[in-house]
Amino acid sequence: MTNTSEIKPLPSREKAARRTQAERRAQSDRGLLMAAAELIAEEGFNAATFEKVGARAGYSRGLASQRFGSKDGLIEALIDYLHDRSEELAQAEGHGSVSGLEAILFSVDIYMRNFEQEQAIRSYFVAMAGSVATRSHLRAAFAASHMKAKERFQSHIREGQAEGSISKDLDAEAAALMIGSLILGVSTQWLIDPSTDLERIRKTSLDTLRRSLSA
């Protein structure tokens, strides 16, 4: 005899429709954010207007305005999206399988190898420069994003110190800030001068970090 307690009801049409609507909303949000990232990377911070973002994404200006409320709201959502995008790149290349010193080197390697190709990553630094130049309150949102990165690097440093791959004499917080500043500095240099040889800097940065952090 069939145990009726094990039979699960099929999802109702209402639930299925609601789930589909949520998926459609998530897709349109990603499209709008990617459009904003592309515009910022190609034309600068001021190019990300609701009209241009909607047109680039294939939606109306009103949808972008409805979803994000203001340009600051759009950029704040973009900051979160780009932070998650960086994490996705790391996971896709196997970042989760290493820890300590190798995790730090892996993260820096991914940033520098993908900076030229990934508009999403470039747009983050362009938008950050724009917010600093205009003394926008968005600086707080970027500061929060940088804090997450610092805490991640700091965690990897402490893991490395515990396992013996990173010097126990290092100040974990200061070293984490130094690594983040290296990425910021190289990214800014490339935005100023796109002829900068990122490959040489990448190799030198990884070699220098390995030498300076190793136990």
Is 3 a domain residue?
no
Domain containing 125 — which CATH number?
A: 1.10.357.10
Percentage of the chain beyond pLDDT 90 is 35
Percentage of the chain beyond pLDDT 70 is 87
Is 4 a domain residue?
no
Tokens matching residue 173: 């917080």
Is 7 a domain residue?
no
Tokens matching residue 9: 């009801």
Is 22 a domain residue?
yes
Distance in angstroms (rounded) separating the CA atoms of residues 192 and 46: 17
Is 5 a domain residue?
no
Q: The domain containing residue 185 runs over which residues?
A: 12-213
Band (pLDDT 50/70/90 cuts) for residue 94 is low
Give the Å distances, CA to CA, from 19 to 15, 23, 24, 29, 64. 6, 6, 9, 15, 21
Q: Which of 147, 153, 118, 129 is nearest to 75 (CA)?
A: 129
Is 1 a domain residue?
no
Band (pLDDT 50/70/90 cuts) for residue 116 is confident
- Note the pLDDT of residue 82: 78
Number of domains in the chain: 1
Is 60 a domain residue?
yes
Is the C-alpha dihedral spanning 185, 147, 83, 155 positive or negative?
A: positive
Of the candidate ranges 26-35, 82-91, 113-122, the one whose mean pLDDT is the lowest: 82-91
Per residue in 12-61, pLDDT (tens digit) is: 555 545 667 778 888 888 899 989 988 988 888 888 889 999 999 998 87
Is 42 a domain residue?
yes
Distance in angstroms (rounded) separating the CA atoms of residues 101 and 37: 31
- Would you call 173 exposed, middle or buried from its count of C-beta atoms within 10 A (0-12, 13-18, 19+)? middle
Q: Report the SS3 class of residue 99.
A: coil
Q: Is 147's pLDDT higher than 70?
A: yes
